[in-house]
Each structure stands twice: as C-alpha cells, then as structure tokens.
Structure 1
C-alpha cells in the first residue's frame, strides 16, 4: 500500500499536539532505565578495552612471541576489519533477533577473542582473537546507542546515549594504564570482566519497547515500557505515539540497502552517514593511534603527553554527556568542530616552526596545546553526538539497514585515516594537520546547513519533522 507524505505526517503531528511531556520522574522511579543503561554501556567499556589493548603491550607481546613489526601491525589493524563486518551485520541481526540478543552475540565474539589472545602461541591465534574481538566491537558500535535511544525518554535520551562514548573512552584509558603494570596475557583476561557483567545483566533487563512494538508483541511492549518508566508512571500517551508510528511503518515495504537512497530516506541517511564521515575525516584516529609519535615529533615527552591526553579525554567526554540534553546536539557539534579546526591549526603551526627551525621553544608548547584542544573539542561533541544523532535520525523500519551502513562507513573511514596517517606525516607534518583543519571546516559547514536539532523531541516527532522537510 502506497503511503503519501501527508499520510505519514498526520497521525504523528496529532499525537505530538495532544500528548503531554513525559518526564523521567512522572509517576514513578524508573531505576530499571538506569540499570539498562549501565548494562548497555558495559558493552561500550568492552569496546574501549578492545581498542586500548594493543597500545601498552606492543613491546612485550612482540618479544614473547617473536613477532615482526609487520606481524604486529596486522594484529593491530585486523581489529578494524572485524569491526566493519560487525557493523554491517549487526543491524539486520538486531532487527531480527532483537537488541538484547545482538549484545549477547557480540559479547560472545569478544569472549572468544580474548581467550584466543590469552592462549595464543603465535601470530595466527592472535589475529583470529583480534578479528573476533573486532566483530563484537563493531556490533556494539551500532546496537548500544540504538538500544539506549529506543528505551530512554526524550528528556534523558541525549545524556544516556552519550554515556556510550564516555565508557568507550574510560575503557581505552583503563586498558592503557593497567597495561603498563600487567602482562599482556593478564590484560586479555581483564577484558572478560565486562563481558561477564553484560551476559549476567542482560537476563534482568527488558528488550527495547520500540523493537517489541515493531514485531507485533504489543503486551510485552507495554510491559517493557512500564518497567522502564516506573510502575506508577502513566505511559498511555507515549505508548500511543509509538504505536501510531509503528502502524504507519507497517504499511511500508521491508527496507533494503538500496532503499536508503530513495528520496523518502535520503535526508536521514545524509545526516547520519555525513556525521560519521565528518567525525573520522577530521583526523581523530590518526591522532588517537599515534599521539605518542606526534608528541615525540614535536619534541615533547610522549609518556606525559599520552597520560594527559587520556585524562582530558575522559573528563571532557563526561562534561559533554551532561551538556548534550541541555545545550543541544547541534551547538555541541559546532563548538566541537570549531575547536577541532583550531587544534589542527595550532599543531600545524608547531610543525611548521619545527621544520624551519624557528621558535624552537614555542613549538612543543603549541603542539601540546593543539593536541589537548583537539581531543577536548572532539570529546565534548564530535565523539558522542554523531552516534546519538544516528540512533535518533533513522525510522524504525530502516534503522537496522541504515544504522549498519552508517557504522560500516564510520569504520571504513577510521581504517582509512589510521592507515594514511604515517604516509601523510612523512609527506608533510604540518601539511597533514592543515588537511585535517580543512576537513573540519567542511564539517562545520555541513553541520550548519544539514544537521537538525533533535534535543527534546521523541523519536517519532523527529521523523515527523524530517517528513515535513522532505515533503
């Protein structure tokens, strides 16, 4: 049955006008909402532990297993390829089996990966373990923000979804710190701790209400929504809004990858995928993976710089999580993009002075200031907000396909930036950061012209607004 733009908009607009605002404390204490978020962000912590594992143990693992530099490079980079596979397959899995089972499957891959690394006696077992962990990490990158966004009320959705990025940063930082005192095999075992918490916690939390509504399990949908909002909360208006939207979506054919490029979904896909490209092409993974190298090249202590980098990242990400539902998504993205641009220019000036042997005492100061400004700016907005917006912007009927595609684009761009960084630096150290600055400037323009503000709107209201824009 064909559905016109007006047919799509009418029931949603009517619900929006007739409903009252749902506050988290309305009628009950939704402790289950926070417990669900805790279990979900343990997946994010596991994500960070996978990313941070390879950095502190490089020398020890190469010495113990007699690995060449190229073998270790494969071990480090194969994580990204596993993440690409996880990203593209997690959407359909989440749509078919549900959000909770997708997290279980991803966690199982991480468990297999850590055990393979722990028992490894050579490069092959290490690579298999890293590939398996990467798959779980890629699946987490999609399903965690989607699960949180679908269960959270609109007034808390931003801050709860932003906890995803905060826990990723925490996992990376903890792995980096404890990796300096633990053996590489013991560090692998510590990666199993969040896995155990996830697998146990998933037995006690409800499935995503919107997913339950989508597959026609109406009774379970209402029970899950009631549990998340508190036993005495009035869920009638929110449930009606979700049900009206799901009924409208039921009239649409099942989404396929090519459907993402139809005019109906083009704006949502442009926003979601565009933000992923802006996030990665601004140079974050080149800076993150090679921060010690950057500090060394600039003439600053790599160990002091890296520890400071990790601390700033966690603190500023926490501040961004608090601000996202107050300041809004778009203002944080614009502030973040401006800081990224300024940070890249400071580092570029530092390397330019170093190359020409000018102001040698100022060069390290500029480099450190630029890198800290860069990571602080990334952490306050560009790190978390694209994932928040991605979890909000896609309609439920294409969320699996579109979210998986956006995550795949993110991981491919991540690999491309990390792979080309050393080549760019050998071409021109200051030219590399001028290039990143130009990319961040383009990102600022994209955010200003294309990205909408989603703060304070339900997922159904966001779709109604996009449909009006498409009409």
Structure 2
C-alpha cells in the first residue's frame, strides 16, 4: 500500500495541533484549581469575604466535571464562549457561589472540547499516525496544566486570571482557518470537498479515493438514527466497553489527585516547596504524554494502557502504606522520606502516559463514522460524571474508610482496569475504522 508523504503528515500535525489549542486552555482550566484553592483558603490572599471551607472547595473543584457532561457541539470555536464567560465571572467573583457557577460554565466548554477534538483528530488522521495525533490532546492539556501549576502559586490572583482569559481568546483565532473534517463533509453529501481535503492530507489521489470508499463501506445513515443504533448490537457492545473504560479512568483516583495537587503536596510535609513540586509534577505529566505520542503507533495502545494501570496500582499501594505507617507512628513521613513524592510521580506519569493520553484516542477509534460523535459523547459523559463524584465525595470516602483503605481500593481498581484492557479492549494500532469494526464483530 502507498504510504503518505512527509508533507501530508506535516499538514495533519499542523491541523490537529491547531485544533488542540483549545485543549491547552482546558489544561489551564484543569490546573487552575490547584494554586487557586490555596489562595481561596488563605485568610490573607482570599478574594472571598472569608476563607473557603472544605465543603465549598469540593463544590468549586467538582462543578466543572458535572456540567461538562452537557457539552456536545460541532465546533471547538463555540467552546470558547462559555470559557470566556466563566473566566470573566472568576475575575470579579467575591462569593463562593459565583466560583461554583463560573466553574460550572467552564465545564460546558471542557465538555465541548473533549467531545469534538478527539473526533476531529481521528477523522483528520491517517491510520499510520492516528495514535500519535490523538495524543496531542493530552500533550496540549498537560502543557496548559504545567503552565498553570508553574506560574499559579507565584502570580497574584487578578494577574493569573487575566493571563488565563487572554490565552483563551488568543488560541481561538487560528481555529477559524481550520478545514472541516473530510468525513463530516462526506456525511453532508459534499463528497468533492471531502476528496479535495483528503488529497491535501494524504498526498495521494489513490489514498484519498480509498478513504472515500471506506466511508461508503461504514456508512449506515448520514443522519444518526438513535432508534437504529439502539438495535445495533455491535454499537451497544462498543458503548458498554467505553463506559466501563471511562469509569475505570476516574475511579483510579489519579484525576482527583491532579485537582488537589498542591494541597496534597503540602500535607506530605517534605522539605520540597509545594509550589516548586507542583510545577515539577506538571512537567512529569507533560513528559508522560510526550512519551505516549512517540510510542503508541510503535507499541500499540493496549500494552501502554496495561503497564500504565499497573504502575498506577503500585503508586496507590505505596500511598496507602505511607498513610498507614504515618497514622501508627503519629509522625507524618518523617522517616519515610520521599516515598510519597515518588509514588506521586509514578502515578502522575503513568496516568498521563496511559489513560490520559489514550482514553479519547481509543474511544474515537472504536466507533464508525455515523455513530462516532454519539459514542465519544457517551464515553465523556460517563467519565465526567464519575470525575464529579470522585472530586466531590473523595473527602467523605477518606473520612469513612481512612486514607490507607481508600488508596488501596483505588490501587485494586487500577489492577482490574489493567485486566479489563488486556482481555476486552481491542487493539486499534494501524487499523482502519472498517478493520476495527470487524474486530468488534461487525460484518462488512
């Protein structure tokens, strides 16, 4: 088979990187809570009438996860509108309920971005580089989080949120020059326009026509018929797989650690400044996503996910052991040294390299064209719902079960997630969408 040339690959990377500028802003939003929570709880730095309580903090953290389940749009450009509105509210907020409202509105933007970006990237990419292009979403998100974690603790509240708001506006401008995805154009009956874009993206007339032919094979109805999909056993099977996968990505506890990163680092009472440590952790998260970008199209999705989940399990067991020892000795990590930091680094790296980078990539690959948007939305709805539950009720679980049992439970769920990937998730490396559907059991 004819391979795509370097120029065509470069065009694909340029387009996917541009659309993922929105994910850099999503990373800023996700990283925002870590330094801002410390400021809101500080009697001197808080912009509130009084320092925020633990309950209020949990609502501020979890609000974006809850409303992000509502976002399902066809344009990442529209996602900038609620993001900007939320940031403007944050700039002038002095009441807790305004922070919760702002984060809820921003959550709508996150939902739109996390739904549209992986679907767009999957439909732009050639099968040879679809995995690495899909991980750009995580790289952009981690880059945004790293920037926020690096500057957040050291920049005054107003200046930090002005930088945040400006970044959203500036990164939205290049989006106006992006092409529509070829599959979207084809589904609207604009086959000539789809072919024209594919010629630029694939660099070959034969490859472009071959992909158009594949669209025809996988096409069931250009307008998604929900009633028909609910009778489609392969679609339902795939939805069940991504729902379970989405639940595992959240109950592992890693994303909750990211939300509360700076407060967790302060609780370890090591000699490392929590501000510096959180920036280093953000950098490790970024390196994890870059690692997967290089290796996912070489090693495959499943091996990376399996080892990542097992690595996270080891880290969670280490966390639980540290809390158990410290509770028995009544001395917080004085003789355990840097084990909590090592566990944190391992967990963050594995999470970013594994589920963080590949969840949306694999989810977008597992659905055929007409059902892809609905499938990705369902997966994101599930992940967001459980992200909200974990962020909101983690403190309650920690109080009821204690830190050791909680983290050991998350470690056990990580092991189950690894086994799930090993036994049930299909390998999508170097497969066309039609070939992936065949692996799932569809006869074409």
Same fold (TM over 0.5): yes
Q: Equivalent residue of 1:154, what SS? A: coil
TM superposition shift of 1:271: 2.3
Aligned to 1:3: none
Q: CA RMSD in A?
A: 2.6
8 Å Cα contact 1:61-1:184 kept in structure 2: no
Q: Out of 47, 50, 65, which is 2:26 matched to?
A: 47
Relative to structure 1, the CA distance from residue 21 to residue 154 in structure 2 (aligned partners, 3 Å threshold; closer, same or farther) is farther
Q: Equivalent residue of 1:155, what SS? A: coil
Aligned to 2:376: 403
| Alpha-carbon distance between aligned partners in 1 of 2:69 and 2:50, rounded to the nearest angstrom | 25
Q: How many residues align?
A: 434
Relative to structure 1, the CA distance from residue 232 to residue 397 in structure 2 (aligned partners, 3 Å threshold; closer, same or farther) is closer
8 Å Cα contact 1:56-1:180 kept in structure 2: yes
Q: Out of 154, 168, 172, which is 1:181 matched to?
A: 154
Q: Does 1:434 align with 2:419?
A: no
| Alpha-carbon distance between aligned partners in 2 of 1:74 and 1:420, rounded to the nearest angstrom | 10
TM superposition shift of 1:454: 0.3
Q: Does 1:323 align with 2:298?
A: no
Q: Out of 350, 370, 376, which is 1:377 matched to?
A: 350
Q: Out of 410, 413, 420, which is 1:446 matched to?
A: 420
| Alpha-carbon distance between aligned partners in 1 of 2:94 and 2:411, rounded to the nearest angstrom | 43
| Alpha-carbon distance between aligned partners in 1 of 2:433 and 2:167, rounded to the nearest angstrom | 30
TM superposition shift of 1:60: 4.2
Q: Out of 274, 286, 291, which is 2:261 matched to?
A: 291
Q: Deviations over 1:124-157 (max 9, x none)?
A: 5444332221110111111111110110001111
| Alpha-carbon distance between aligned partners in 2 of 1:159 and 1:323, rounded to the nearest angstrom | 8
Q: Equivalent residue of 1:105, what SS? A: coil
Q: Out of 172, 195, 203, which is 1:199 matched to?
A: 172
Q: Deviations over 1:34-87 (max 9, x none)?
A: 22112111011011111122322335456223255245543333222221222x
Q: Does 1:23 align with 2:8?
A: no
| Alpha-carbon distance between aligned partners in 2 of 1:67 and 1:192, rounded to the nearest angstrom | 25
Aligned to 2:307: 335
| TM-score with structure 2 setting the length | 0.90
Q: Deviations over 1:179-211 (max 9, x none)?
A: 223232322222234433443222222101111
Quick check: 352-361 or 274-283, which moved more?
A: 352-361
| TM-score with structure 1 setting the length | 0.85
Extract unaligned runs of 5+ from structure 1: 1-19, 95-101
Q: Does 1:463 align with 2:437?
A: yes
Relative to structure 1, the CA distance from residue 24 to residue 464 in structure 2 (aligned partners, 3 Å threshold; closer, same or farther) is farther
Quick check: 338-347 or 48-57, which moved more?
A: 48-57
Relative to structure 1, the CA distance from residue 255 to residue 398 in structure 2 (aligned partners, 3 Å threshold; closer, same or farther) is farther
| Mapping for residues 408-427 of structure 1, pairs under 5 Å | 408-426=381-399, 427=401
Relative to structure 1, the CA distance from residue 262 to residue 165 in structure 2 (aligned partners, 3 Å threshold; closer, same or farther) is same
Relative to structure 1, the CA distance from residue 54 to residue 340 in structure 2 (aligned partners, 3 Å threshold; closer, same or farther) is closer
Aligned to 1:254: 224
Extract unaligned runs of 5+ from structure 2: none
TM superposition shift of 1:381: 1.1
TM superposition shift of 1:335: 0.8
Quick check: 444-453 or 456-465, which moved more?
A: 456-465
Q: Does 1:245 align with 2:226?
A: no
TM superposition shift of 1:401: 1.9
Q: Out of 42, 47, 52, which is 1:64 matched to?
A: 47
| Alpha-carbon distance between aligned partners in 1 of 2:227 and 2:40, rounded to the nearest angstrom | 41
8 Å Cα contact 2:362-2:428 kept in structure 1: yes
